[in-house]
A and B are shown apart, each in its own frame.
Chain A
Amino acid sequence: EPEVTQTPSHQVTQMGQEVILRCVPISNHLYFYWYRQILGQKVEFLVSFYNNEISEKSEIFDDQFSVERPDGSNFTLKIRSTKLEDSAMYFCASSEAFGQGTQYFGPGTRLTVL
């Protein structure tokens, strides 16, 4: 069964460093998303991406965040200058259908900012 994959599974970085989290969405899906989950809390939406541009973003997704689809299979989330409070699980998701389609999640990247 097709699934969303994410790398790395765990990333440790120093405060102020840039990190890039990578995702390979399900191959026939057109809509891509990033969510984050701070330890013990609920999953929160960051951004949605379609047709090579951001279609929606939350207030969490400020100027230090960016997303890119650098080729036909990868979807990345870049955090330019990490802060301690960026420590969280970051989940990529994808969906096939337009707009409010069912989203399938990857296994996540645990980001630890020291």
Chain B
Amino acid sequence: GQQLNQSPQSMFIQEGEDVSMNCTSSSIFNTWLWYKQDPGEGPVLLIALYKAGELTSNGRLTAQFGITRKDSFLNISASIPSDVGIYFCAGHTQGGSEKLVFGKGTKLTVNP
């Protein structure tokens, strides 16, 4: 089945640092979405990407849809303590399936 390999699994950074995380797959994806999940909460959409090569920003967040359609990255600039949480990549695969395939998440810890 389709698998998303998300890395790193966890990150420990100092406030103010920039962060980068990525997802790769052996399958082609039609969309890439990045979500943030706080403990006990549902995934909150951060950025949605629909076209290969697309680069989109949302405040301090920037994400790109890889040209091969098999990867995506999320960057967070100038991290702040409220950036703490688990970041998931997710996507729709080729073939029109409606299900979102999720990565295993990157757990971000920001030290003040």
Contacts and interface: CB of A to CB of B under 8 A. Distances in A.
Nearest to A90: B42
Interface string A60-74: 000000000000000
B100 interface: yes
Nearest to B97: A56
B8 to A, nearest CB: 15
Contacts of B66: none
B103 to A, nearest CB: 7
Contacts of A110: 40
Task: Give the size category of B's interface with A.
Answer: 20 to 34
Interface string B12-55: 00000000000000000011010100001111110010000000
A100 interface: yes
B100 A103 contact: yes
Given A100-B31, A105-B35, A45 B99 contact: yes
Given A44-B102, A105-B35, 4 more contacts: A41-B104, A48-B98, A56-B98, A108-B40
22 contacts: A6-B42, A33-B98, A33-B99, A35-B100, A41-B104, A42-B103, A42-B105, A43-B100, A44-B102, A48-B99, A56-B99, A58-B99, A91-B42, A93-B100, A100-B30, A100-B31, A100-B97, A102-B33, A103-B100, A104-B45, A105-B44, A107-B42
Interface of B: 30-31, 33, 35, 40-45, 48, 88, 90, 92, 96-105
